[in-house]
Each structure stands twice: as C-alpha cells, then as structure tokens.
C-alpha cells in the first residue's frame, strides 16, 4: 500500500498506474495528509474484511531433533512452562522451545483463545466453562481475571439464546 508524495504534479498519472492509494503534492497540508491516511486505513479494513482468512490449517513445530506437522484441529490446548511450550493433542503432548506469544501469532483468534498468561485453548475442544475454569476434555484450566471478559464476550457471540 503506497501513498505517493512529491513536489512535481506531473507524476500523478504515473502514480495511479502503479495502484497507489493516494497522491500528496508538497507542501502537504495536515488535513490532506490525514485524509490520505484515513483512505489507506479504510482500504486496509476493506481488504481484511473481503479477503478470506489466509492462516494455514497446520503448523510445523521443532521438537527435539524432529520437525512435526500439527493440524490445528488436533490441538486441545497449549501451555507455557518456563522457556518451553507444551502442545497438548488428543493422543500425545509435544514440547517445543517456543514462546506462547510466538505461537499465538500463528493461530486464528476465531479458533483459539488465550485464557491465562500460560494457556491458549482451542474452541473446538472446550467442553464446559464454569466460573473461572474452562474444561478441555478431562483437563481443567484456570481462566485469569485479565482474560475473563474477553473470553466471555467471545463465548457470548456463540451462546444460544431464547
């Protein structure tokens, strides 16, 4: 996404042939600058809305001497313990030298939610929510006060009502 700035008005046509968002002629008035930035923001928001989610359905994770391919639908929850993350799958657990924040950036917020400083859970595997706990299969995971409102607002969107 490009906003072209120049002191030469003759470049305007060329700029639009390059698919620029806007063209600012120097000296740039503040209100004109704000308008161009707003136009760029609206364009980006529109792209984010119209383009399909491009996140992959899998991740590759280095565990000891192997690189494991993980289907996101198989992940129950992820727990951060020290400098490692434990990735809990239906039939096994993987341990990787990663940060929770690094993994979180690769996950869709429509499928995974951070419920605690140390835990991310998959919406697919949540079986119940009770007070300050989430049940994922047979595991009970605490919900942090810092994340509770966000979690409950996400759950509320999917909650069946009368």
What's the CA gap between 48 and 2, in Å, rounded?
17
pLDDT tens per residue across span 13-69 = 776 677 788 889 999 999 999 999 999 998 888 877 776 555 678 999 999 889 999
pLDDT at position 95 is 95
For Cα atoms 140, 64, 104, give the angle at the middle one, nearest 5 degrees. Answer: 45
Average pLDDT over residues 1-8: 86
pLDDT at position 1 is 82
pLDDT at position 109 is 87
Rg value, the chain, Cα: 23
How many domains does the chain divide into?
2
pLDDT at position 52 is 56
Domain co-membership, 102 together with 36: no
CB atoms near residue 106 (< 10 Å)? 13
Contact 62, 97 (CB under 8 A): yes
Domain co-membership, 88 together with 140: yes
Cα-flanking dihedrals φ and ψ of residue 117, to 5°? -55, -30
* Beta strands at 75-81 and 84-89: parallel, antiparallel or unpaired: antiparallel
Domain of residue 11 covers: 3-50
Contact 76, 122 (CB under 8 A): yes
pLDDT tens per residue across span 123-160 = 999 999 998 999 998 899 999 999 999 999 888 888 88
């Amino acid at each position: 996404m490009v906003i072209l700035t120049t002191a030469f008005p003759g470049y305007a046509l060329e700029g639009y042939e390059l698919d620029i968002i806007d063209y600012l002629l120097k000296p740039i008035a503040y209100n004109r600058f704000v308008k161009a930035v707003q136009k760029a923001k609206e364009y980006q928001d529109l792209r984010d809305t119209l383009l399909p989610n491009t996140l992959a359905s899998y991740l590759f994770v280095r565990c000891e001497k192997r690189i494991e391919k993980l289907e996101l639908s198989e992940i129950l929850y992820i727990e951060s313990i020290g400098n490692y993350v434990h990735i809990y799958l239906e039939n096994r657990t993987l341990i990787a030298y990663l940060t929770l924040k690094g993994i979180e950036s690769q996950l869709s917020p429509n499928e995974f939610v951070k419920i605690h400083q140390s835990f991310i859970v998959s919406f697919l595997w949540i079986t119940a929510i009770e007070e300050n706990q989430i049940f994922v299969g047979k595991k009970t995971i605490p919900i942090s006060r810092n994340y509770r409102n966000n979690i409950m607002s996400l759950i509320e969107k999917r909650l069946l009502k009368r």
